[in-house]
Amino acid sequence: MNTLELVRINLHGVHDQFTKTVADVTQEMADWVPPGVAHPIGERYAHAVAAEDWLVNSLSKASAPWFATTWAGKTGYGNLTLAGVTVEEARAFRVDVNTLHDYARAVFASSEEFLNTADLAEMERVYDMSAVGFGMLPAPIWWSAFIIDHLHDVMGEISILKGCLGYTGYPF
């Protein structure tokens, strides 16, 4: 197994687990505002999908993210920004969960297609993440930290919030 195969397997695995984790999220669950400063499930879900859309399309493919082009106005959260929001804005954020499910499936499939058609040289790329304080990162680390691990992190948040509502979080 080479590095590209490993990243492909891990990306597919996290997409499958994330999709199963949010599969039963209802509109009521997505909109529930938890106590404290935690963000609603819908906001966390939208954040995870939009981040992957932005990162993969902008940095890997050197194109515009789908939420600004192909899926503009069809993501389930309108044209609201998901970056640089305050706690209050995040807690007030709402999505249409059924539309967000469709957007997520499309983003995840696109990311996997990109890696499935890439050659091993893709893993030799270096991503400049200096703007967010991480410097230059080799592609395997970038895919692992910014896409795969990020989805795992948000999936954990969503699982905890589902548990607070009396539902099962992780699908396993």
**pLDDT tens per residue, the chain (172 residues)?**
999 999 999 999 999 999 999 999 999 999 999 999 999 999 999 999 999 999 999 999 999 999 999 999 999 987 666 667 788 988 998 999 999 999 999 999 999 999 999 999 999 999 999 998 999 999 999 999 999 999 999 999 999 999 999 999 998 8
DSSP state string for 70-139: TTTT-SSSTT---SS--HHHHHH----HHHHHHHHHHHHHHHHHHHHH--GGGGG-EEE-GGGT--EEEH
Please tell me the predicted confidence (pLDDT) of residue 86. 86
pLDDT exceeding 90 applies to what percent of the chain? Answer: 89
Task: Please list, in sequence order, all residues whose beta carbon lies within 8 angstroms of the beta carbon of residue 113, skipping any fewer than 6 positions away.
Answer: none
Each residue's pLDDT tens digit, 111-121:
999 999 999 99
Give the per-residue pLDDT at 81.
Answer: 63
CB of 97 within 8 A of CB of 76? yes
Residues near 95 by beta carbon (within 8 Å), at least 6 away in sequence:
30, 42, 43, 45, 46, 76, 77
pTM, entire model? 0.95
Instruction: For the chain, give every domain's residue range.
Output: 3-164
Instruction: Assign domain 3-164 to its CATH superfamily.
Output: dinb family like domain (1.20.120.450)
Instruction: Report the relative pairing of strands 126-128 and 136-138 from DSSP bridges.
Output: antiparallel
Length of the chain: 172
Q: What is the pLDDT of residue 82?
A: 62
* Cα angle: 8, vertex 13, 166; to 5 degrees: 155
Place of tokens 């983003």: 107
pLDDT tens column, 144-159: 999 999 999 999 999 9
Rounded-to-5 percentages of helix, strand, coil across the chain: 65, 5, 35
- Amino acid symbol at 107: V
Joined tokens for residue 127: 């991503």
